[in-house]
Amino acid sequence: MKIPKAWRLGIGEMHIVPATRHRSPSRRPPWIIILVSLVCLSLIGAYVFPPRRYAACYLFASSVCSPFKQWLPPVPARLLTDDEIASRVVIRDILNSHPIQPKNPKIAFMFLTPGPLPFEKLWEKFFLGHEGRYTIYIHASREKPEHLSPLFVDREIHSEKVVWGKISMVDAEKRLLANALEDADNQHFILLSDSCVPLHNFDYVFNYLMESNISFVDCFEDPGPHGTGRYSEHMLPEVEKKVWRKGAQWFTVKRQHAVLVLADSLYYSKFKFYCKPGMEGSRNCYSDEHYLPTLFNMVDPNGIANWSVTHVDWSEGKWHPKAYRAQDVSFELLKNITAIDESLHVTSDEKREIQRRPCFLNGSKRPCYLFARKFYPEALNNLMQYFSNYTSI
């Protein structure tokens, strides 16, 4: 029979079926010659072309080789350093782990502030009635705040001085994450500033975050001087220019990503040493705007939404975003912000390209924002007055 003979040659079914159908016994020898030639050719091909792919399979079990493994960043066309190999396996295992679902899931609200929190009373309105579903952490870097709400009393963690734009900012974020991770019930970790206010009621925020399996880390590519212009080649080989990203620091991360941030020391040290204000003369780099967007863009680009759930208005084109005074706060303003369902990024090159992306969650368009900044302390009374109305939209 023809088929057993073909099988012995080790050729797959696809080759056999058409061959057997048209072949006559008298033409068997030429076919065998062709098959043998094909095998030889493919052996030569295998020898010449795929060593890199084999290495990738062997070292990293990349998705090319195993569809069951989660995606890993593409293997760079160079030898990895020991630190990189170690870092990749740790990150891969964190991303592939299946987080335990606690009986009583909670959200960590992490306030990064120099001192007092002027909107404690507003937050109290937000939290009241939801005990056991949230935990508050405060990193007060300059002075211990006097509290206006009992919910905030004794919620300070150990803090260190924070200098704007320096790595100490990232260190404070990591300190907050570490403290909040101690509570195994915390599933999402929200970084907030003293000028942030809630845009929705607690249930809305809780469900929005719990139902999404991604982190909300702001991330976009800015080819201008305030984006890629801040990149330093000292970060090579681990951080290449093409993976460099920018984004506002006010993140919300799921537990897996919070662990990942604490586990990373390789990329963190690159930013610590080569992304700081006053680098190489006049060039400034701010780790808090680049470290997390770049890290997640490298290791889990599909695991982040690419927008922050904290709204800020840069439309005035100034060095600082718009800050709302008491008279700016109206029901209409808050209604407008909560209705936004497209994220907006503007590049810093001469093109000033505006990147608009719809906020998609679970395949459907959703309002982008849960919180907003920056509000002056004097806006408190107006916000309190409208809170029940605008959070029920």
State the residues that interact with ligand NAG by CB under 6 A: 211-214, 297, 301-306, 330-333, 336, 361-362, 385-386, 389
**Alpha-carbon gap, residue 338 to 367, rounded angstroms:** 7
Residue placing its CB nearer to ligand NAG in the complex, 47 or 68:
68
Residue placing its CB nearer to ligand NAG in the complex, 101 or 362:
362
Minimum gap (Å) between residue 339 Cβ and ligand NAG: 8
The CA–CA distances, whole Å, from 218 to 141, 185, 369 equal 24, 25, 12
| Distance between first and last Cα of the chain | 76
Question: CB of 113 within 8 A of CB of 139?
Answer: yes
Residue placing its CB nearer to ligand NAG in the complex, 81 or 213:
213
**37-44 long-range Cβ contacts below 8 angstroms, 24+ apart:** 38/11, 39/9, 39/10, 39/11
DSSP-derived secondary structure for 227-251 = TGGG--GGGTTTS-GGG--B--S--
Residue placing its CB nearer to ligand NAG in the complex, 151 or 333:
333
Minimum gap (Å) between residue 387 Cβ and ligand NAG: 9
Minimum gap (Å) between residue 227 Cβ and ligand NAG: 13
Residue placing its CB nearer to ligand NAG in the complex, 80 or 384:
384
Residue placing its CB nearer to ligand NAG in the complex, 50 or 99:
99
Residue placing its CB nearer to ligand NAG in the complex, 159 or 256:
256
* Owner of token pair 């982008």: 368
Minimum gap (Å) between residue 389 Cβ and ligand NAG: 4
Minimum gap (Å) between residue 214 Cβ and ligand NAG: 5
**Alpha-carbon gap, residue 14 to 30, rounded angstroms:** 19
Minimum gap (Å) between residue 281 Cβ and ligand NAG: 30
Q: Which of 116, 110, 145, 121 is nearest to 379 (CA)?
A: 121
103's enclosing H/E stretch is none
Report residue 284: phi and psi, to 5°: -105, 140
DSSP-derived secondary structure for 159-213 = -----TTSHHHHHHHHHHHHHHHTSTTEEEEEEEETT-EESS-HHHHHHHHHH--
Burial class from Cβ neighbours inside 10 Å (0-12, 13-18, 19+) for residue 122 reads buried
298's enclosing H/E stretch is helix 287-299
Minimum gap (Å) between residue 128 Cβ and ligand NAG: 18
Minimum gap (Å) between residue 39 Cβ and ligand NAG: 40
Residue placing its CB nearer to ligand NAG in the complex, 63 or 389:
389
